[in-house]
């Protein structure tokens, strides 16, 4: 995050054309961080489910009132 903060500070002091480039770089860095975070949020539950299937482990108990598939 310090790296992103340094880029944000550089935007304030950069002249016109360089400012545009720095804004693009900062936006790209932020989108990469967001994508990594989302991947980790999605990858953990899917990875756990795949491990259960491959290991033959029992499924977690169904919620009360759940309709079986």
Examine residue 29 and state whether it is found in any structural domain, yes or no.
Answer: yes
DSSP state of 14: S
Examine residue 21 and state whether it is found in any structural domain, yes or no.
Answer: yes
Does the model's pTM come out above 0.75?
no
Examine residue 60 and state whether it is found in any structural domain, yes or no.
Answer: no
Count of the separate structural domains present in the chain: 1
Does residue 20 carry a pLDDT above 60? yes
pLDDT in tens, 28-69: 888 888 988 888 888 888 887 787 777 776 766 777 776 765
Cα–Cα distance for residue pair 29/27, rounded to 1 Å: 5
Cα–Cα distance for residue pair 44/15, rounded to 1 Å: 43
Examine residue 61 and state whether it is found in any structural domain, yes or no.
Answer: no
Q: What is the structure's pLDDT at 29? A: 83
- Expressed as residue numbers, the domain containing 39 is 2-55
Q: What is the structure's pLDDT at 46? A: 81
Q: What is the structure's pLDDT at 50? A: 80
Mean pLDDT of 17-36: 84
Examine residue 62 and state whether it is found in any structural domain, yes or no.
Answer: no
């Amino acid at each position: 995050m310090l790296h992103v903060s340094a880029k944000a500070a550089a935007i304030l002091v950069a002249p016109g054309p360089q400012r545009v480039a720095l804004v693009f770089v900062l936006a790209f860095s932020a989108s990469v961080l967001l994508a990594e975070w989302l991947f980790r949020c999605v990858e953990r539950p899917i990875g756990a489910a795949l491990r259960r299937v491959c290991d033959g482990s029992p499924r977690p108990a169904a919620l009360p009132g759940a309709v079986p598939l």
